[in-house]
Every structure is written in structure tokens, then in C-alpha cells.
Amino acid sequence: MIFSREVKSNLSKLFAWLLVISILTGLLMSIYILMLDANMKSIFDSFLSSLSDNVKNVLGFKEGIDYTDISDYLGFIFQYIFVFIAMFAMQLGANSLAREQSQGSIGYIYSNPISRSEIVTQKFLANMLTYFIMLFSLALVTFGIVYVIHMEVEVSMQMAIFAIAKIFGGMFIGGLVFMSVGLFFSSMSKSTNFTEGTSILFVLLTLLITIFGKIYGATFKAVVEKFTLEIFNPVFFVKEEFNIAGMGINLVILIIFVLLSYIIYNSKELDY
């Protein structure tokens, strides 16, 4: 019951975010064809050469990216799209446990023989499924766009498929980290009035701290390079430059926030 209710309640959000991100993906992918033009590539290379190393790093223009290679280009654009996907994932978690109290339906749920731990489990699994559907649908959209491009210019579809699989695999795990943080916030909240805005602000704050850390350098840079948006950056996954230590740290964070959500929600005083 809880599982199906949660999935249904997230459908409108799923379709809205999928539509927006699909349009954004299409717009960014349309630039790829321009990159294949020698004149446009020359202009772009001149623009890159005019930027300092710090600015390139902040903007995501990493060393070794071939913008005419479909795999590298997919990784390049999805490092930006990942920010929006992280917002969606965190909103799913942040809305989950506080929704019933906010809507006044918590009494109906507790009229059924179900424990609080089971509520958390079913909601988290439902959110994982919603998030998976979102990413799988977006992966299909991305594949469709690449196929259309393939009809116009020479593109290795096999390499593109491998790149899409690696990119979306990384974003799935990275998004779960943000979802667990959202779940933690939701376990402490009694209302969903500010959860969506808080989720967006949290992801943006994480992004700003990451940018500042890259500019500041030294130890601060080493710390922000372990942040979720960096560890699961699609560029690194396309090139298979995995930071195992950073991934381990993020998985520990995921587990900690999920466990804290169980503990807090089980001890929470519910009004119904």
C-alpha cells in the first residue's frame, strides 16, 4: 500500500522533471553537430585557450576531453545535467516521510498494521524505483537523440551506448546519496512546504562550495573532490577514471543518512 501510494504521488513530478531535462538534453546535444564543423571547432578551441586553468576547471572544461567524440561530449554535457538530476533525487527523499503528516493522511496509514520502519523502507524503495524510471527514460531519450544525430553524421553507436550506460550508472548511485540526505531531512520535518526549495538550495550550495574549493585549491580542493557531484561526475565515468576512495566515502554517507532517517522517524512524535 505505502509503496504504490508513494510511486503514484511522484508520477507528476517525474514527468515534469523528465520533460524539462529531456528538452535541456536535446538542446545541448544539438550543439554537438556544430562541434564537428571545422570552423566552429576552431572558434571553440580559441575560446578555451583564452581561459585560465582555474576557469576551465570550474566550468567543467577538463583536460583530455575531445568534444568531437560522442562519448566525451555526452560526459561533458551530463556533468551539468547531473545537477538537475540530483535536485530531483533529493526532492523525492525530502518529500517522502513528511508528506502524510503535511496532507493529514498519516492517521489512515497507521490504521493499517504497519511499522514505522516498514514505512521508511517502502517509501525509500518507491523513491528508488521512481528515480530509476526517470533515469532509464532519460537514457532512452538520449539514445534516441544520438541515433538521430547518427543519421546525419558518422557516430559510433556502440561507443555511445557504452558511454550512456556508464554515465547513467554513475548518476544513479550519486543521486541515491542526495536522496538519502533528503530522506534524512524529511524524517525530521512535519511539512513539505519548503522541502522542494530546500532540496534545490542544498544541491546549489554543494555546487558552489565545490566551485569555491576548486578555485581556492590546497586542502579545500582535496575535500570538495570527494563531494558527490565530483565523484560521480559523468566525465570521469566515461573515461573510467573512478575514485574508489571517494565512492566508498559517498556510499558510507548514503548508509549513514538512511540509518539516521530510520532512527529519527521511529522516535518521532507524529501528529494524527
CA separation for the pair 160, 163 (Å, rounded): 5
Sign of CA pseudo-dihedral 21, 65, 168, 201: negative
Question: Where do the H-state alpha helices sit in 36-156?
Answer: 38-49, 53-59, 70-103, 106-110, 116-152
- pLDDT tens over the chain, length 272 residues: 788 888 888 999 999 999 999 999 999 999 888 888 878 888 888 888 888 777 777 778 877 788 888 999 999 999 999 999 999 999 999 988 777 666 555 555 656 667 888 888 999 999 999 999 999 999 999 999 999 998 888 888 899 999 999 999 999 999 999 999 999 988 887 766 667 788 889 999 999 999 888 888 778 888 888 999 999 999 999 998 899 999 999 999 999 999 999 999 888 766 55
Mapped onto helix, strand or coil, the DSSP state of residue 62 is coil
Residue in this structure with the C-alpha cell 561526475, named with its chain if needed: 233
pTM of the model: 0.90
CA separation for the pair 119, 136 (Å, rounded): 26
Region class of 189: left (phi > 0), else alpha (psi between -120 and 50), else beta: beta
